Chains A and B, each alone.
Chain A
Amino acid sequence: MSSNTDFVLAVEGLTVSFDGFKAVNDLTFYVDENEIRVIIGPNGAGKTTVLDLICGRTKATDGSIKFRNRELTKLREHEIVKAGVGRKFQNPSIYGDLTVFENLEISFPRGRSVFGALAFKRDEEVISKVHEVANMIFLGDQLDRQAELLSHGQKQWLEIGMLLMQDPDLLMLDEPVAGMSVGERQQTAELLRSIIKDRSVIVIEHDMQFVAQIADKVTVLHQGKILAEGSVDKVKNDPKVIEVYLGH
């Protein structure tokens, strides 16, 4: 087992194999306090699988994932969430039959047990938190709207808002601006910059312009392994990266 570190997230020797195919192969990387890490790479490089492994959706074959020195590979999904890891899915994953308010309310970290949920009261604290988050994600005037009826970009924001309700220490976003208009991208970049205070973020993104706007450090994955790591400029000029990814 790996030793303790000062990093928020320490991934060491992480491997997952699906019927012999190693989707992630002996991966090691560290995420600092308050860092925005962007993971890029060609399709099938294992980017989403890495997020799946961290949040417990996929079980690792080998290796360790430590979040604030707590081993995550042995925990179940909801326990990982309670430890402080939040994850946004690639396709906007929201509850279409509920209102925007109710979507946000469900993510409020109280009353998560069966009887806690039965006894849950919608008090001032919940209401003010929902309003605060809704205003951040540009949906302050849409609270009573059924979430199904939101535009694609608004759904993406709503899911980000649900994560903000959760207030995780480590936020993982899978292609947060995919399918968004240029204007929405700009707003999302601002949104992300405003919400990263006091937390670390891992983002998967293809849009290099967007990546350059937000990244502290970029990790390039290729065939389950790290191809390059460093600042945006360093990675952009790396000949290996240009060959397998950026050159296309």
Chain B
Amino acid sequence: MSYQRFSALFPKKEMMGFIVLAIILAVVLPLSLDIFRLNLVGKYLTYAFVAVGLVLCWGYGGILSLGQGVFFGLGGYAMAMFLKLEASDPESTKIQSTPGIPDFMDWNQLTELPFFWEPFHSFGFTIAAIILLPCIFGYIVGVAMFKRRVGGVYFAIITQALAAILTILIIGQQGYTGGVNGMTDLRTLHGYDIRTDSAKYLFYFVCVFMLFVCLFVAQFIRKSKLGRLLVAMRDKEDRVRFSGYDVANFKIFVFCIGGVFAAIGGAMFTLQVGFMSPTLVGIVPSIEMVIFCAVGGRLSIIGAVYGALIVNAAKTSFSESFPELWLFAMGGLFIAVVMAFPNGLAGLYNTYAAPKVDAFFAKLFTKKPAVATTAPPPAITPSVSKPVVTKTETPVIPQGAIHE
């Protein structure tokens, strides 16, 4: 990639946002938290994948999906099936009436492995499934909805229904899926014990790495003409159609991408937390995922990561002390975001903090250019979108790279 292409993809200000996030996730948190807390952060980060996908789908494309838990579940269950099969070798399941199959199948009087479980013996197939299953599923749903011009609230309700259907299906078919308990007692990945502290460190860093891969893909899409088309479609769908674009295809594409991100998050969840269950894929978690995205800022991919981290951290600490109050707090938070700061933390940062941070850096660079590297990172969400007009309340889309 030439320097010119690179700087078009990552303008200086947005690059700062990526660097600060990378330092926080890869250096600051691992050095300051014990492994238990770091593992929790890793778990929160798996929701950041979903939130980043939602920024593209919802923030940019205007497609509100209330069923991202379905994709999270597809990825999580695919990974869990592989790990479960590895944990169910004939040696460790010899007390079952049918050794060599997962324990919950044995409890449900299954006597052989169902055919769709067979390919999950292969790790390669599992990785492929984590990417391809959400693509295929998203494509089918997308074709069925977008080609018929179903959108807006109707689409949101249908995705919500899908999340409910998947939960019911998983719970109802417990012989094949582990039912309401989910898939538990996952032990090793290719013989490597995933429950040890060193494995948790490893998976945390794999998770951060994968998150950045997704962030870069999202940034590439944002900066391409496709990103601008998504914004255009959100605004005036008919105009895009009558400019010669098949609008449905673009919606299907971004819905699939959001689904793949969520599935990768789901797979990382299974690896780090060690189980997968239907409570993680249903309606409530799906709506929570939208809240992470809204709090972070639905137009900011970096903001979405902070949103997922902060809301989840708040959820953990708040529900430790007031378990029954958390849902109300969460509801209140969502209302506050929608009513008071529709662009979330990223919007607040851009409006209030960004001018001061910019001024601070400008001063720093003009006075003493040598000490620039020791500057502390900004405390809240770094900017990824440069508002054109800071006074307006309406969502403002970052300008594309300035043409020559």
Q: Which A residues are within 8 Å of any B CB, using their own CB?
A: 55, 57, 76-78, 81-82, 86-87, 89, 93-99, 101-103, 105-107, 109, 111-114, 117-120, 122, 127, 130, 143-144, 146, 148-149, 159, 162, 166
User: Which has the most chain B C-beta neighbours within 10 Å: A77, A82, A89, A148?
Assistant: A77
Given known contacts A89-B238, A114-B250, is B244 in contact with A109 (CB within 8 Å)? Answer: yes
**CB-defined contacts of A96 to chain B, threshold 8 Å:** 235
- Partner of A93 from the list B239, B244, B403 (CB cut-off 8 Å) is B239
Q: Are A77 and B242 in contact, CB atoms less than 8 angstroms apart? A: yes
Q: Are A82 and B235 in contact, CB atoms less than 8 angstroms apart? A: no
What are 15 A-B contacts with C-beta separation under 8 Å?
A77-B241, A78-B242, A78-B244, A81-B242, A97-B234, A99-B399, A99-B400, A106-B232, A117-B229, A118-B226, A127-B403, A143-B403, A162-B239, A162-B243, A166-B244
Given known contacts A102-B400, A111-B225, A117-B226, is B235 in contact with A95 (CB within 8 Å)? Answer: yes
Q: Are A117 and B250 in contact, CB atoms less than 8 angstroms apart? A: yes
Write the nearest CB–CB distance from A163 to chain B, whole angstroms: 9
Complex: how many Å from CA A107 to CA B244? 8
**CB-defined contacts of A117 to chain B, threshold 8 Å:** 224-226, 229, 245, 250
Q: Are B249 and A113 in contact, CB atoms less than 8 angstroms apart? A: yes
Name which residue of chain A comes closest to B404, CB basis: A127
Name which residue of chain B comes closest to A109, CB basis: B244
User: Which has the most chain A C-beta neighbours within 10 Å: B221, B246, B395?
Assistant: B246
In the complex, whether B402 has a CB less than 8 A from a CB of chain A is yes
**CB-defined contacts of B213 to chain A, threshold 8 Å:** none
Write the nearest CB–CB distance from A248 to chain B, whole angstroms: 31
**CB-defined contacts of B395 to chain A, threshold 8 Å:** 97
- Partner of A118 from the list B224, B236, B238, B394 (CB cut-off 8 Å) is B224
- Partner of B389 from the list A119, A122, A127, A146 (CB cut-off 8 Å) is A146
Q: Which B residues are within 8 Å of any A CB, using their own CB?
A: 220-221, 224-226, 228-229, 231-232, 234-236, 238-247, 249-250, 253, 388-389, 394-397, 399-404
Q: Are B389 and A93 in contact, CB atoms less than 8 angstroms apart? A: no
User: Which has the most chain A C-beta neighbours within 10 Å: B224, B225, B395, B401?
Assistant: B225
- Partner of A57 from the list B238, B397, B399 (CB cut-off 8 Å) is B238
Name which residue of chain B comes closest to A107, CB basis: B243
User: Which has the most chain B C-beta neighbours within 10 Å: A112, A143, A162, A166?
Assistant: A112
**CB-defined contacts of B404 to chain A, threshold 8 Å:** 127
Write the nearest CB–CB distance from A87 to chain B, whole angstroms: 5
A93-B238, A98-B232 known; 12 new pairs, CB 8 Å cut-off, are A57-B242, A78-B242, A81-B243, A93-B239, A102-B399, A106-B229, A106-B243, A109-B244, A118-B226, A122-B403, A159-B239, A166-B244
Name which residue of chain A comes closest to B233, CB basis: A95
**CB-defined contacts of B221 to chain A, threshold 8 Å:** 118
Given known contacts A82-B244, A89-B238, is B231 in contact with A98 (CB within 8 Å)? Answer: yes
Name which residue of chain A comes closest to B252, CB basis: A114
- Partner of A97 from the list B235, B240, B246 (CB cut-off 8 Å) is B235
Given known contacts A106-B225, A114-B250, A127-B403, is B241 in contact with A78 (CB within 8 Å)? Answer: yes
Given known contacts A94-B239, A146-B389, is B396 in contact with A105 (CB within 8 Å)? Answer: no
Q: Are A144 and B389 in contact, CB atoms less than 8 angstroms apart? A: no
Complex: how many Å from CA A176 to CA B249? 31
Complex: how many Å from CA A87 to CA B244? 11
Complex: how many Å from CA A107 to CA B395? 23
**CB-defined contacts of B253 to chain A, threshold 8 Å:** 114
Q: Are B228 and A89 in contact, CB atoms less than 8 angstroms apart? A: no
**CB-defined contacts of A118 to chain B, threshold 8 Å:** 220-221, 224-226
Write the nearest CB–CB distance from A166 to chain B, whole angstroms: 6
Write the nearest CB–CB distance from B257 to chain A, whole angstroms: 10
Q: Are A106 and B228 in contact, CB atoms less than 8 angstroms apart? A: yes
Name which residue of chain B comes closest to A111, CB basis: B225
Name which residue of chain B comes closest to A146, CB basis: B388
Q: Are B242 and A87 in contact, CB atoms less than 8 angstroms apart? A: yes
Complex: how many Å from CA A127 to CA B401? 13
**CB-defined contacts of A87 to chain B, threshold 8 Å:** 242
- Partner of A144 from the list B235, B245, B402 (CB cut-off 8 Å) is B402
**CB-defined contacts of B403 to chain A, threshold 8 Å:** 101, 122, 127, 130, 143
Write the nearest CB–CB distance from B347 to chain A, whole angstroms: 14
Complex: how many Å from CA A118 to CA B245? 13
**CB-defined contacts of B396 to chain A, threshold 8 Å:** 97, 146
Write the nearest CB–CB distance from B241 to chain A, whole angstroms: 5
Write the nearest CB–CB distance from A6 to chain B, whole angstroms: 26
Name which residue of chain B comes closest to A148, CB basis: B394
User: Which has the most chain B C-beta neighbours within 10 Å: A94, A98, A105, A109?
Assistant: A98
Q: Are A98 and B249 in contact, CB atoms less than 8 angstroms apart? A: no
- Partner of B225 from the list A76, A93, A105, A149 (CB cut-off 8 Å) is A105
Complex: how many Å from CA A130 to CA B400? 15
Write the nearest CB–CB distance from A52 to chain B, whole angstroms: 10
Complex: how many Å from CA A148 to CA B387? 13
**CB-defined contacts of B402 to chain A, threshold 8 Å:** 144
Name which residue of chain A comes closest to B399, CB basis: A99
Complex: how many Å from CA A103 to CA B231? 11
**CB-defined contacts of B239 to chain A, threshold 8 Å:** 89, 93-95, 159, 162
Q: Are B226 and A98 in contact, CB atoms less than 8 angstroms apart? A: no
**CB-defined contacts of B229 to chain A, threshold 8 Å:** 106, 117
**CB-defined contacts of B388 to chain A, threshold 8 Å:** 146
Name which residue of chain A comes closest to B299, CB basis: A97
**CB-defined contacts of B246 to chain A, threshold 8 Å:** 76, 78, 112-113
Complex: how many Å from CA A81 to CA B239? 11
Name which residue of chain A comes closest to B247, CB basis: A78
